[in-house]
Structure formats: structure tokens, C-alpha cells
Copies of this chain bind each other. A is one copy, B any other.
């Protein structure tokens, strides 16, 4: 079945609010000169995305090489494939290891890693560029209809 959908831009506050309604996102970075992507669970705190990563993992390695200068993308979405509605938010920002022990402990208490493994690092991503859209019913020429717009809550 096919519908006609229109993409509606979201504001930065809408984007970060929607991202905070889901647990999972996808971290995108360059690893050994190739594009890399990893699904992870996250915490959104103000304009910062916080994730945990295993010591020795590709992202930890790249963040340590980058030393406060690794640009990454982080994407989260909630897409209803049956109705072809949903949203996607993309953050581009600088990834950094959290080196302050107390801050790292606090984040570890707030983000539970799903996969059992060795001791891990905490990485923050500053939301420097934020873009997002939602798919709403209608063709390109249609007016937006707020009554049928899609929110993260309704999709999750």
C-alpha cells in the first residue's frame, strides 16, 4: 500500500524533545576512512546526547584519536511503516569522552547498557547542528494539518 507523504521541518526544540522520547539512536562516524554506524541507547540532556561505549570499540578509538575534535552524526527516528508516518532527527556535533569521574559515574547511573561487557566509557555529543522532519499526510502542495501531525508519543 502506498500513501503520499510530505516532509515537514521540525524546530530544534521539537527535534531534541522527540529524540528524548525514544531509547535508541544510531551513531555515525568515520572509522578507518570508512563510514560507520552503530545503534546505541542514549540519554538526551539539554543539548547534549550521552551514550556509553565499550573500551576499545571503534567509536572509543576514534574519539580518543580525535581528541575533542571528532565530528559525528547521531540519528533517531520513529517510523510507522504500515501508515508511512513518523519522524527522524539528525544531530551533528563533536563527540568527546567524559573524563570527569563524577560526571561519568552520574551518566553511568542514568544509562543502562543493554549488552553485558567490560567497563565502558561515556561519550557526549554536543548538538551543534540539529535537523529533523516528520512525514505528514498530503502532497507537496497541501497545507499542513496540525490535527493529523505525528508526534513521537503517538508512534512509540
Contacts and interface: CB of A to CB of B under 8 A. Distances in A.
A98 interface: no
A115 to B, nearest CB: 5
Contacts of A5: 114-116
A24 to B, nearest CB: 6
A144 interface: no
Given A115-B6, A135-B115, A139-B116, A28 B23 contact: no
A130 interface: no
Interface of A: 2-7, 22-24, 26, 28-30, 34-39, 71-73, 75, 77, 79, 81, 84, 88, 90, 92, 112, 114-117, 135, 138-140
Task: Give the 4 A-B CB pairs with smallest separation, nearest first.
Answer: A35-B73, A2-B112, A4-B116, A37-B75
